[in-house]
Amino acid sequence: MLWPMLALTLAFCGIAVLAVLSVRVYTEVRRLARQVSDSSARISRAADDLERATGPLSAQVGAVRRDEGAAQGH
């Protein structure tokens, strides 16, 4: 009678340990997903800022090329 009780106790302890570890994994996955979401939003904002910053620069480059073309007689 001792061995079956010991086996049941060990099985219960093993399942309890697995449950605790699965909760820890779940919380870490949620934290990682939140960090990925924040990083994605930051990258998107940086891309928008870069796009806005290149607008005036491309206009200046276009004006310089037009001026060079006019100076060369094209």
Residue 73 has a pLDDT of 63
Residue 71 has a pLDDT of 66
Q: Indicate whether 3 pLDDT > 90.
A: yes
Section 67-73 average pLDDT:
68
**Paired tokens of 28:** 């870490």
Q: Indicate whether 16 pLDDT > 80.
A: yes
Sign of CA dihedral 54, 56, 62, 65: negative
What are the residue ranges spanned by the domains of the chain?
1-74
| Per-residue pLDDT reduced to its tens digit, 20-65 | 999 999 999 999 999 999 999 999 999 999 999 888 887 787 777 7
Sign of CA dihedral 43, 46, 48, 51: negative
Q: What is the pTM of this model?
A: 0.62
